[in-house]
A and B are shown apart, each in its own frame.
Chain A
Amino acid sequence: MVRRLLREPLLHFFVAGILLFGAYAVLHRGSANAPDEIVVSSGQLENLKLQFERVWRRPATEVELQTLVDNFVKEEIFYREGLTLGLDRDDPVVRRRIGQKLEFIVESAEPPLPSEAELQAWLHAHAGQYQIEPVYSLRQVYFDPARHDDVDAVIAAAKRALDTGKIIAGDATMLPASLEDVAATEAQRVFGTEFSKALGALPVGAWHGPVRSAFGLHLVTLSKSSAARPATLAEARAEVERDLTTARLQEANAAFYDRLRAKYAVRIERGPATDPG
């Protein structure tokens, strides 16, 4: 599949260069080359200076400006000659670039900021997307099954001790012994999915478990546990505003394309049946 080839810009220029000179040699054989006029207008000159300044943060020197102009002229000549040869046609780079330019202009039509009521309505319609996560404060004691012949008995003994208020260290670990006021995703980052899911089912107070994690088994006590709940607009305003604006922009872009598309009749000439894989 041609598309899958590596596309590094410079390689393209090499390939393009070879093709261009080949095509030029063929097409320009014997044709008279009427000198065309190239005007480097004051606007273009300004443009070149400005482009330079935006990269280097200083004005170009006379010598640099001359080089810029020379390059501009050379590029313009190559560009015109290339256009004459029709090299802009069927070139995926050019095609894509020009398409992207149009897309860019379309997207600059940013929709106005949504009103309070619109934000509220969006939040209401997409409540599931804007959840305040559960928050936990927990302590845990870790047991590595690989370090015990009968881990169940060790854990049962530890739990009895913890229930009577004794402090038990469990197996040595770098995992945190406690997490304070952490969102569920943070607990998930540290202990993994299985453990963080189990937290939701544990009542506050008393030692529970063993709870399984990616590391082994844990006795866990929660001093705080709040359930997930839908966010209020005040809590999720930034996200709602961003998402609603993005959705509107996408709608506007789709509508724009639909209108352009309506101007065209598209006919697909299917060749002999092939298996696209």
Chain B
Amino acid sequence: MKAIAAGVAVSVASILQVAAVAQAQQPAGQIITDIADVQPADPNKFYKEPGYSPYAGKHFPARPLFGDQHLHTGWSVDAGLGGATLSPEDAVRFARGEQVTSSSGQPVRLSRPLDWVAVTDHSDAMGTIAAIREGNAEMMKDPTLKRWHDMMSQGPEEGTKATMEVVAAQANKKLPPALVDPKWAKTYWDKNIDIMEKYNEPGRFTAFIAYEWTSNAGGGNNLHRNVIYRDNQDKARQVLPMTTFQSDNPEALWKWMADWEKKTGGQLLAIPHNGNLSNGRMFELQTFMGGPMTRDWAEMRQKYERLFEAIQMKGQSESHPSLSTTDEFAVGYEIWDRGNLAMVPKKPGMIEHEYLRQALKDGLKVDQDLGANPFKYGMAGGTDTHNGLTAAEEDNFYGKFVGSEPRKDRWQEDAIKFGDRVVKGWEMTAAGYTGVWATENTRAAIWDAMQRRETYATSGPRMIVRFFGGYDFTKRDAALRSPAIAGYNKGVAMGSDLPKAPTGKAPTFLVAAVKDPYSGNLDRIQIIKGWLDANGKLQEKIYNVAWGDADTRKLQANGKLPSVGNTVDLETASWTNTIGDPELITVWKDPEFNPTVKAFYYARVLEIPTPRWTAYDAAYFKVKISDPKVPMTTQERAFTSPIWYSP
């Protein structure tokens, strides 16, 4: 059933703004807060009449808008060959929450609609197909075209007749010259734009105009980028997408983008993905052609590449256990590290230039040397499905290709195979989405939030994550549980730069998460810090800053936390929210702050263990997955864009 919000001002502005504690005036003696150092009288100072909005006149984003900036339909050559029959139109309808029939004939629907989507079919085949553009004055001078046009306007019956005539004329090479004139070529690109315009509903659902530029430099080294348009059809139609036939050099893409912006007055951004499959090339410390990095190069990259897709169906590219040796949650988490997209095996030294956390650290060093940081990336998640279905939920996972849509044996079949080099089906990751703190649900507002990196990546669940940095956050800001008010007033949001440190002060961070009502409770929030130390060495450290079951779980001397536990019942693929907390909030102050060195901080939110898609498959298809290599539970997570500090 389609839900129409006609005539309803959907008051997103009220969400997460007037938090319940703000009602306060609690009767004495009643235990109503779990923050010990808040006196019952304190919240009275912040008492607000219901409806009295502290946000009035301010453009604070009220709730994150969730979407997928990366998916393919049957219009992508590889997806089509894989059996995908769904079109961009089907893909958008699915993202909007409608039920569709998958390419393998199965009915499928999202648990709830997304807020936005960017369908990113490969540009390499978008610009070439010719068809009739109806009603064009110049074409209508041709009597045959005029007649066909008139027939087509008379309804499906006559339209079909006209089409048959067109087909016959084409077969006999008798098409009117006006029709084969490339000036009138209607392209996949045009048609894609038509569809996105049709389904883009400002205020309700955003359908971006977008494409993927698919550079596999050198044979399978994944340097792919999604190009997202801020603007509408009038600008997008003016220029055909950049393809790799023109160049597979990302610098040429940036140049194309710069050119496009100059010509149209619009704005574009590019989101790279799958560093993990680039065999050392995504974050290499040199130009594409092997030259030295320059300040111009770094600035150009930073101008057009504001976000990086940290997780998707071909694994995560956030961190690798060999690089982050103290990170217990990077171990075994959705890792594809055996080769590139063509399964060309990795050589030593490649992994160092594939994962975002390392790149964020390298960026500090490059910034120091060149005066510009090429790797100042925020976080995005995407699916990269090739079946038109942005289905990233573990219990609703429709796989990467049509061949990996739900079927009894998909877990043990080969997902990718080149000779004896194989990625198994179970290695597919049911992920991910991007949460965007946009002020409203429009192309421009979501794009602007991406541009300022006020985004976070999730592995699929839609948890709400707030992350602010400043110098004056106190425990009370957390106790009030209205993080946006204190956050925007006293600090900067995820994706931003901290101002200079006042003398004697260390950065404080207000960080909060609310679980996805459809998913697991929260295990913990961590803050991951990277810095360039005084000796020029790159460092990282992970701090556990807030966690569930805090009455019984205490930090150990080494900073680690005891495990949250595990309630997953594999037999039924279910779990209980009897461990962890539904929401977490805290203020954390960097205990090892050195105001003279460059640093960045980002938050990682972990859920309690829940069944992985493999467990849902095993339970639904009644198959026994006995291979111990196959993970059956997962800890879903979110990664925020960093906040940077520069002396």
Q: Is A139 an interface residue (CB 8 A)?
A: yes
Question: Are B50 and A111 closer than 8 Å at their CB atoms?
Answer: no
The 8 Å CB contact of A55, one of B19, B246, B342, is B246
**A51 close to chain B: CB less than 8 A:** yes
B101 to A: closest C-beta gap in Å: 12
CB-contacts of B1-33 with A (<8 A): 1-12, 14-27, 30-33
Instruction: Report the minimal beta-carbon distance from A184 to chain B, rounded to whole angstroms.
Output: 7
| Residues of chain A contacted by B14 (CB below 8 angstroms) | 176, 178-180, 182
Q: Is A20 an interface residue (CB 8 A)?
A: no
In the complex, what residues of A have CB within 8 A of residue B198's CB? 242
Whether the pair A252, B518 counts as a contact (CB closer than 8 A) is: no
Interchain nearest-CB distance for A126 vs B (Å): 9
Asked whether A215 is an interface residue with its Cβ less than 8 Å from the other chain, the reply is: yes
Asked if B27 contacts A129 (CB within 8 A), the reply is no
- The verdict on A120 contacting chain B, using a C-beta distance below 8 Å, is no
Q: Which residues of A contact B112 (CB under 8 A)?
A: 185, 188-189
Closest to B48 in A: A177
Minimum C-beta distance from B498 to chain A (A) = 24
Q: Mark B158-169, 1 if CB is under 8 A from A, else 0.
A: 011011101100
The residues of B that contact A215 with a CB separation of less than 8 Å are: 515, 517, 582-583
**CB of A102 within 8 Å of the partner chain:** yes
User: Judging by beta carbons under 8 Å apart, are A167 and B4 in contact?
Assistant: no
Which of A27-35, A197-205, A231-239, A265-273 sits within the interface? A231-239
Closest Cβ of chain A to B153, distance in Å, is 5
B81 close to A (CB within 8 Å): yes
Instruction: Decide if B475 is an interface residue (CB 8 Å cutoff).
Output: no
Question: Nearest CB to that of A144 among chain B residues?
Answer: B582
Q: With a CB–CB cut-off of 8 A, which chain B residues contact A105?
A: 131-132, 163, 166-167, 170
Given known A3-B403, A140-B20, contact A183–B10 (CB-CB < 8 A): yes
> In the assembled complex, which residues on chain B have CB atoms less than 8 Å from the CB atom of A236?
4, 6
Is A38 among interface residues, defined by CB-CB distance under 8 A?
A: no
- Closest chain-B Cβ to A109's Cβ sits at a distance in Å of 4
The answer to whether A130 touches B35 (Cβ under 8 A) is no
Asked if residues A133 and B5 are in contact (CB atoms below 8 Å), the reply is yes
Q: Taking the nearest CB of chain B, how far is it from the CB of A111, in angstroms?
A: 5
Contact A180 B11 (CB under 8 A): yes
Q: Which residues of B contact A157 (CB under 8 A)?
A: 30
Contact check, B220 vs A106: say whether CB atoms are below 8 A apart. Answer: no
- In the bound assembly, the distance between CA atoms of A43 and B153 in angstroms comes to 30
Complex CA gap A221/B137 in Å reads: 61
| Interface stretch (choices B72-80, B594-602, B628-636) | B72-80
Chain B residues contacting A93 (CB-CB under 8 Å) are 77, 81
With A56-B256, A169-B26 as given contacts, are A3 and B19 in contact (CB-CB < 8 Å)? no
State how many angstroms separate the Cβ of A253 from the closest Cβ of chain B.
9
Chain B residues with CB under 8 A of A47: 182
- Contact of A8 (CB < 8 Å), options: B134, B155, B216, B514: B216
Contacting residues, chain A, for B63 (C-beta < 8 A): 189-190
Q: Please, which residue of chain A has its CB at the minimum distance from the CB of B20?
A: A177
Residue B122 lies at the interface, judged by CB distance under 8 Å to chain A: yes
- Whether the Cβ atoms of A184 and B404 lie closer than 8 Å is no
CA distance A127 to B235 in the complex (A): 37
* B32 and A169 within 8 A (CB): yes
Task: Tell yes or no: B456 within 8 A of A by CB.
Answer: no
Of the candidates B10, B43, B182, the one whose C-beta lies within 8 Å of that of A186 is: B10
Most chain B CB inside 10 Å of its own CB: which residue of A133, A140, A242? A133
CB distance from A10 to the nearest CB of B (A): 4
Interface set, chain B 155-211, CB cutoff 8 A to A: 155-156, 159-160, 162-164, 166-167, 170, 181-183, 186, 188, 191, 198-199, 201
Cβ–Cβ contact A7 & B82, under 8 A: yes
Distance to closest chain B CB from A95 (angstroms): 10
Contacts A4-B404, A4-B415, A177-B22: A235 and B260 contacting too (C-beta < 8 A)?
no
Complex CA–CA separation, A133 to B4 (angstroms):
6
A231–B1 CA distance with the chains assembled, in angstroms = 12
Chain B nearest CB: distance from A52 CB in Å?
9
Least Cβ distance of A197 to chain B in Å? Answer: 12
Q: Once the chains are docked, how many angstroms separate the CA of A1 from the CA of B51?
A: 59
Given known pairs A3-B83, A129-B1, the reply for A183 and B8 (CB within 8 Å) is yes
Contacts A180-B14, A180-B51 known; A128 to B27 CB distance under 8 Å?
A: no
- Contact for A5 among B6, B259, B417, CB less than 8 A: B417
Question: Is the CB of A261 closer than 8 A to any CB of chain B?
Answer: no
Cβ of A214 within 8 Å of any chain B Cβ, yes or no, is yes
Does B500 touch A at the CB level, under 8 Å?
no
- Establish whether residues A128 and B6, one from each chain, have CB atoms under 8 Å apart when the complex forms: no
Q: Does A222 contact B (CB under 8 A)?
A: no
- Annotate B329-357 by CB proximity to A: 1 below 8 A, 0 otherwise: 00000000000011000000000000000
Closest to B215 in A: A10
A198 to B517, CA, bound (A): 15
Chain B residues with Cβ below 8 Å from A216 are 582
User: Smallest CB–CB gap between A13 and chain B, Å?
Assistant: 10
**Stretch of B371-379, B477-485, B527-535 with 4 or more beta carbons under 8 angstroms from chain A:** B477-485
Residues on A lying within 8 angstroms of B by beta carbon are 1, 3-12, 14, 43, 46-47, 50-51, 54-58, 92-93, 96-97, 100-102, 104-106, 108-112, 128-133, 135, 139-142, 144, 146-148, 154, 157-158, 161, 166-186, 188-193, 195, 213-216, 231, 235-236, 238-239, 242, 246, 248-249, 251-252, 255-256, 259, 277
4 closest Cβ contacts across the A-B interface? A192-B517, A7-B78, A4-B403, A214-B517
A-B contact pairs, 22 of them (CB 8 A): A3-B401, A4-B415, A7-B386, A8-B78, A10-B220, A54-B240, A57-B239, A93-B77, A96-B80, A108-B134, A112-B154, A144-B582, A167-B25, A174-B16, A176-B17, A181-B11, A186-B11, A191-B517, A214-B518, A239-B4, A255-B160, A259-B164
Seed contacts A8-B341, A256-B164; 11 additional CB < 8 Å A-B pairs? A5-B416, A11-B220, A14-B342, A51-B240, A109-B160, A131-B2, A147-B31, A174-B585, A181-B9, A249-B156, A256-B160
